Amino acid sequence: MPRTWRSWVTLGMVALAGCRAPSVRVTSPAQTPAAPSKPSELPAASATTLEPDYAKLPLVDPQSASAMPRVKARAPVMEATVSKLAAERAALATVFQRESEIPHIVAATPSQPTGDDGALLREVRTLLATDARRRAGGDAVQEFFRLADFEGRLDLLRLSIDRLDFLREAARKAKADGARLPVELDELDAQRANLLAILGQAELGAKLLDTDLKRRLGLSAQMPERLLPSGDFSVPSDTVDAEASVKIALEQRTDLQALRTAYLGLTPENLPSVQEYLRGVPGSVGLIGSGSVVHPPAWDPRLPFSKLLRRRAGEWAKAIDTVTAAEVDVRRQQLYRLIEEKERATADEVRATVATLNEQTRQVGLARWRSEQQMSKFADVKKMAKGPFLEVPAELETLRARSEVIAAAMAWHQARGKLAVALGQ
């Protein structure tokens, strides 16, 4: 509603309200229990050992425990699909959009025929909805690569257990034949127990990530197939320029654009809308009040109603204009300060993410080097045909090195996804 029209309506309502005094009643808040007058005393208790009683614990024999076969029902999914579906289902973005769809009244005057003081806030909400979708897609991509990490290492863990079982069977037969073994059977059992524990944790992690990722994508929780991340997981050797990335982020981050839009579009007419927006901006709690408050004048019964209204109208309009103009200036200063802080935080976030990504590129390179060295050693051992007691341990080390490459590569892709979100992409 335009400011002039709103001021006259307010004056009329205040003047009319003075003709009829409202009833007054006193309300008392509900009584709440008083806090304890002194701190509680800790009840006496006897100290016990922190190591549990083994007789009251489950027991799993690693020799007979199953290695949990690979899930057969799979649903391949690509990174782009994950990002798109998660962005479309972003709940916060839908809230912003639905808020702007609420009908509103636009008051028109001869001097201002199409005044709409809610247009600015709707534009801001559109930018915030875009930002919410971007972040929802980025969060889903993070889970996509964490799931890829788990799934990739799960296959290598199962293969490691299979090769360890082969080695144990060879050791059992050799021991039955009276041969001297380079490794004891109980040592192999201990290794199998460790691998089973790692496999179980990885399998649980994959299940939990699969469930959460399906929720983000809007897929049914009863979907029998488990999502299988697919795509190109290669890692380039190039490093990212931090300052160039900061420049990109400051230009295209929609959360920054929302603040700038409110700053540039602030007027006395849309001041209430901007106040509403500022109260929800992180970091502005306690900074933004409820806006200017104009108290009605005291009622003078000796003056006729029409004369009083004419007399007070000019004074009120002038007072409201003065207070509103002052508040607009204050809100602009607050918005400028918020934009300044947001730009600094954005720049710091981008620099930190770039540093993480560049270091992770180095970690991938080191993991590749270690894996290739181990694969070369394993190939040499196989050429010598020294038997399973040398070949299998070398193969297990190769599988572990390959697992480290997968972990490093997926960590790089997670850092890449975080940088994309920080850049506003």
pLDDT digits (tens, 9 = 90+) for 138-191: 999 999 999 999 999 999 999 999 999 999 999 888 888 888 888 888 899 999
- pLDDT category of residue 406 using cuts at 50, 70 and 90: very high
Averaged pLDDT score across all residues of the chain = 81
146 secondary structure, DSSP code: H
C-beta of residue 164 within 8 angstroms of C-beta of residue 198: no
Q: Coil, strand or helix: which one is 161? A: helix
pLDDT band at 19 (very low <50, low <70, confident <90, very high): very low
Q: What is the pLDDT of residues 253-291, one digit of tens each?
A: 998 998 898 888 888 887 877 777 777 776 554 344 444
Continuous H helices in 218-304:
242-252, 254-265, 271-279
3-state class of 108 per DSSP? coil
Report how far apart, in Å, the C-alpha atoms of 266 and of each of 6, 109, 337, 342 are: 17, 20, 15, 19
Unique residue bearing structure tokens 């509403």? 276
pTM score, whole prediction: 0.79
DSSP calls for 304-326: -HHHHHHHHHHHHHHHHHHHHHH
- Residue found by looking up tokens 């207070």 in the block: 323
- β-pairing, 226-230 vs 74-78, is parallel
Q: Could you tell me where the DSSP H helices lie in 254-387?
A: 254-265, 271-279, 305-384
Are residues 337 and 283 in contact, defined by beta-carbon separation less than 8 angstroms? no
Angle at the Cα of 277 from the Cα atoms of 276 and 282, rounded to 5 degrees: 120
| 68: region left, alpha or beta (phi > 0 left; psi from -120 to 50 alpha) | left
User: Alpha-carbon Rg of the chain, whole angstroms?
Assistant: 34
* Whole-number pLDDT of residue 377: 93
